């Protein structure tokens, strides 16, 4: 059945108001797109995340949404997000309904202007690390686990900034991806109260890998 859930349709309608604090500069930055793919998994609604390879050039070892830079053959961010997801996870794009896009966001470390693409996985397929040089693993992470207060915290960067983070399915989700998820969970109504005073330092090995 291809019906998109009401909550996801509502999220797409409100996406322009999600306060993510990642607005791009007036100029500069390479266009990119990520696919925020939600589905109905064995444990309820879930979202597709990848663990980037430790050998990657950008954001090595970090959990992320599938995605990457726009290529000349891409008609726009939607086509780029679906193409990248297919290349990275083996996703069949025909099983996805694109619900909408969010405003462009900026990732300063890689100088990307990222358009998040919201998708509903109406016909799920098997996914895996289809591009081992870029992706170490692929996970369908249940929303119930993301909103579980026991899995939520803030991570403090050496710069002093502390942002939202999640410990789920063996992944430490932080940075851009965690910030986007934090905003989406709040806007969708799934968020549960959690201890925002729980702040930990970003692990040194994670810092070292991300700085490559």
Q: pLDDT grade, residue 23 (50/70/90)?
A: confident
pLDDT number for residue 86: 98
Does the pLDDT at position 63 exceed 70? yes
Q: pLDDT grade, residue 212 (50/70/90)?
A: low
Within the chain, how many helices (H) and strands (E) appear? 5, 12
pLDDT number for residue 107: 87
Does the pLDDT at position 20 exceed 60? no
Lowest mean pLDDT among 24-28, 79-83, 154-158: 24-28
Q: pLDDT grade, residue 56 (50/70/90)?
A: low
At 171, phi and psi to the nearest 5?
A: -105, 145
Share of the chain above pLDDT 70, in %: 93
Ranges 181-185, 187-191, 193-197, most confident: 193-197
In the 8-state DSSP scheme, what is residue 5? P
Which residue segments constitute the domains of the chain, with CATH numbers given?
6-203 (3.90.79.10)
Place of tokens 């064995």: 42
Compute, in degrees rounded to 10, the torsion defined by CA atoms 115, 121, 125, 129.
30
């Amino acid at each position: 059945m291809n019906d998109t859930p009401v909550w996801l349709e509502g999220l797409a309608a409100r996406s322009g108001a999600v306060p993510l604090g990642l607005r791009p500069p007036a100029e500069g930055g390479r266009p990119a797109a990520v696919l925020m793919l939600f589905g109905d998994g064995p444990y309820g609604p879930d979202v597709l995340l990848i663990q980037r390879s430790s050998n990657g050039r950008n954001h090595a070892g970090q959990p992320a949404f599938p995605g990457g830079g726009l290529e000349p053959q891409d008609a726009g961010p939607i086509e780029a997000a679906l193409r990248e997801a297919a290349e990275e996870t083996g996703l069949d794009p025909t099983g996805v309904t694109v619900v909408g896009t969010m405003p462009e966001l900026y990732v300063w470390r890689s100088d990307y202007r990222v358009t998040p693409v919201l998708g509903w996985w109406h016909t799920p397929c098997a996914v895996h690390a289809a591009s081992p040089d870029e992706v170490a693993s692929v996970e369908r992470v249940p929303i119930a686990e993301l909103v579980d207060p026991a899995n939520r915290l803030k991570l403090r960067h050496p710069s002093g900034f502390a942002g939202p983070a999640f410990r789920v399915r063996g992944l430490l989700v932080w940075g851009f991806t965690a910030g986007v998820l934090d905003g989406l969970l709040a806007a969708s109504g799934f968020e549960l109260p959690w201890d925002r005073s729980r702040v930990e330092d970003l692990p040194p090995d994670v810092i070292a890998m991300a700085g490559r």
